[in-house]
C-alpha cells in the first residue's frame, strides 16, 4: 500500500512492510525534511494511485474554502476504495470546555489560533465542528463520510485526544461518463481518449444508436459498451436509456454526459465538480489551443451547453427524462425550460472544451442528411407546440425571465 502524509511538518510517518508512506510538505524544516516538497493542492502522484491520504491538522491552517483544492487533489490521487483521513481541532468541544472552566485559557487560545511564534505556517485560519467538517467534505461523491474509528494505521503517527475531530472519507469507484454514439468511430476514439486523460478515475458507458462503422464492436472490445440499439432512437432515447440505468444505482450521485465529437481537457470533469449546482456545463470552443489552459474562475452563467454536461441526481429526479417527442433536436432546450420552471439551476461555467460542431451532418450520407433535416423540422414543431416559440428567438429568451 501507498499513503500520503500531506502537511507532514514535524510529524512524519514511517514506512514499514505494510505501507510506504510519502511525507509531503510545502517547506523543508531543520527537524524534518519531507520526502516530497510541493503544494498539497498539486501533487505529483498519478490519478487513482494511493491507498491513504492523511491531512493531520492541516485544514485549519487554511482560510474559509481555501483547503477545498487540497481535498479535491486527495480525491484525485486515491484509488477506488481508498481513504482520506482528516484531523482538526474540534472547535465546538474546546469552546464548550473552556466556557465551563474545564480548559486552560492559554491552551484554548493556542488550539483556537495556532501556536504562532513568528512562523506564518503555524497560524490557524479556520475552525470546524463535526457538522461543518462533514459538510465541507461532502462536496465530493465519497462512498462514505463518517467519523474516524480510531483504528491503528500502520506507520501513521496519528494524535487522538478529546479535542481532536477525526473524519474518514472512502473514495467511490469512478466518475461515470455517458457517451452517445452514431457512427464517426474516429471521433469517438478521440473523445474516449480525452475522458481517459481526466485527472480522476472514470467509467465510460457508450450507448450506440445503430452504428454501422464498427463503433459497437470497438466499444465491446474495450468493455465500455452499455447498450447498442439496432436503429437510431435519437438523442432523447439514448440519453434516457443511459441515465435511467446509471441513476438506478443509488451510489451514483452524478453523471457526465458528452457528445462523441468533443475533446475534454484533463481538468474538465474536476472543475465542473467544484461548482455547487445541480446541472453544469462547460463552454464549447472550436480551437484546440484554447482548451490547453483553464481560464479564471467566474460566476455561474446562464445558457448551458448540452454537448458536455454534468447532471446531478437531484436534477434528474426533479426534471425527469428528456422528451421523446423531440428525437434529435430541441430536447436539450426543452429540458432547460422545464428545469428553469421547476427551480433547478442549470448553468455553464468558464471551463472550455473542444466541440466539432455539426459533425453528425458533415459526416452523414446524402440520404441520412435528408432524414436528419426532416427530423429536425419535426422536433422544432414539437417544441413550438409546447412553448409557442423556437429556440434562439426573443420569445424563447423570455421563457427564462
Phi/psi for 63 (5° steps) reads -70, 180
Q: What is the pLDDT of residue 219?
A: 97
pTM: 0.66
**27 vs 94 pLDDT, higher one:** 94
Rounded Cα–Cα distance for residues 75 and 71 (Å):
6
Set of cell numbers at residue 256: 457526465
Query: Per CATH, the architecture of 2-170 is what?
Result: 3-Layer(aba) Sandwich (3.40)
Q: What is the pLDDT of residue 368?
A: 85
Q: Which CATH class is domain 175-398?
A: alpha beta
**120 vs 387 pLDDT, higher one:** 387
Q: What is the pLDDT of residue 83?
A: 94
- Extents of the domains making up the chain: 2-170, 175-398
**135 vs 361 pLDDT, higher one:** 135
Q: Do domains 2-170 and 175-398 have the same CATH topology?
A: no
Nearest partner of 387 among 311, 335, 345, 344, judged by Cα: 335
- State yes or no: pLDDT of 295 exceeds 90: no
- State yes or no: pLDDT of 173 exceeds 80: no
Average pLDDT for residues 187-216, to the nearest whole number? 93
Q: pLDDT tens digits for 303-333?
A: 999 999 999 999 999 999 999 999 999 999 9
Neighbour-count burial of 92, counting CB atoms closer than 10 A to its CB (0-12 exposed, 13-18 middle, 19+ buried): middle
The overall average pLDDT reported for the chain is 93
- State yes or no: pLDDT of 377 exceeds 90: yes
User: Are the beta carbons of 8 and 22 closer than 8 angstroms?
Assistant: no
Q: What is the pLDDT of residue 325?
A: 97
Q: pLDDT tens digits for 81-114?
A: 899 999 999 999 999 999 999 999 999 999 999 9
Q: What is the pLDDT of residue 32?
A: 82
Q: What is the pLDDT of residue 307?
A: 97
Q: pLDDT tens digits for 235-284?
A: 999 999 999 999 999 878 999 999 999 999 998 998 898 898 999 999 99
Under the banding of pLDDT at 50, 70 and 90, the label for residue 10 is confident
Angle, CA 16 vertex, CA 171 and CA 200 arms, to 5° = 25
- State yes or no: pLDDT of 117 exceeds 80: no
Phi/psi for 33 (5° steps) reads -105, 115
Q: pLDDT tens digits for 327-344?
A: 999 999 999 999 999 999
Amino acid at each position: 500500500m501507498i499513503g500520503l502524509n500531506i502537511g507532514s511538518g514535524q510529524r512524519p510517518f514511517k514506512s514499514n512492510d505494510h505501507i510506504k508512506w510519502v511525507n509531503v510538505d510545502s517547506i523543508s524544516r531543520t527537524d524534518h525534511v519531507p520526502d516530497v516538497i510541493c503544494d498539497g493542492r498539486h501533487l505529483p502522484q498519478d490519478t487513482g494511485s494511493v491507498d491513504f491520504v492523511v491531512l493531520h491538522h492541516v485544514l485549519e491552517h487554511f482560510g474559509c474554502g481555501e483547503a477545498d483544492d487540497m481535498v479535491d487533489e486527495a480525491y484525485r490521487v486515491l484509488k477506488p476504495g481508498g481513504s482520506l483521513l482528516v484531523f482538526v481541532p474540534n472547535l465546538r468541544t474546546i469552546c464548550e470546555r473552556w466556557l465551563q472552566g474545564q480548559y486552560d485559557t492559554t491552551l484554548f487560545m493556542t488550539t483556537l489560533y495556532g501556536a504562532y511564534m513568528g512562523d506564518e505556517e503555524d497560524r490557524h485560519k479556520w475552525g470546524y465542528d463535526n457538522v461543518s467538517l462533514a459538510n465541507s467534505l461532502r462536496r465530493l461523491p465519497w462512498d462514505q463520510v463518517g467519523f474516524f474509528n480510531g483504528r491503528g494505521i500502520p506507520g501513521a503517527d496519528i494524535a487522538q485526544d478529546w479535542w481532536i475531530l477525526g473524519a474518514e472519507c472512502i473514495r467511490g469507484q469512478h466518475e461515470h461518463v455517458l457517451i452517445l454514439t452514431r457512427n464517426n468511430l474516429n471521433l469517438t476514439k478521440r473523445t474516449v481518449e480525452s475522458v481517459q486523460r481526466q485527472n480522476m478515475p472514470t467509467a465510460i458507458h457508450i450507448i450506440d444508436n445503430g452504428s454501422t462503422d464498427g463503433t459497437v464492436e470497438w466499444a465491446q472490445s474495450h468493455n465500455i459498451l452499455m447498450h447498442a440499439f439496432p436503429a437510431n432512437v435519437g438523442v432523447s432515447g439514448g440519453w434516457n436509456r443511459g441515465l435511467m440505468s446509471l441513476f438506478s444505482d443509488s451510489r451514483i450521485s452524478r453523471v457526465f454526459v458528452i457528445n462523441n465529437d468533443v475533446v475534454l481537457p484533463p481538468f474538465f470533469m474536476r472543475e465542473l465538480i467544484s461548482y455547487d449546482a445541480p446541472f453544469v456545463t462547460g463552454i464549447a470552443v472550436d480551437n484546440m489551443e484554447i482548451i490547453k489552459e483553464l481560464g479564471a474562475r467566474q460566476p455561474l452563467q446562464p445558457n448551458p451547453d448540452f454537448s458536455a454536461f454534468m447532471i446531478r441526481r437531484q436534477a434528474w429526479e426533479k426534471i425527469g427524462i428528456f422528451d421523446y417527442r423531440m428525437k434529435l433536436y430541441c430536447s436539450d432546450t426543452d429540458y432547460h425550460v422545464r428545469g428553469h420552471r421547476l427551480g433547478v439551476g442549470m448553468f455553464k461555467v468558464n471551463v472550455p472544451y473542444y466541440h466539432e460542431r455539426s459533425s453528425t451532418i458533415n459526416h452523414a450520407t446524402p440520404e441520412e442528411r435528408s432524414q436528419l433535416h426532416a427530423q429536425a423540422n419535426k422536433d422544432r414543431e414539437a417544441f413550438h407546440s409546447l412553448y409557442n416559440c423556437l429556440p434562439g428567438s426573443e420569445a424563447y429568451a423570455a421563457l427564462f425571465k
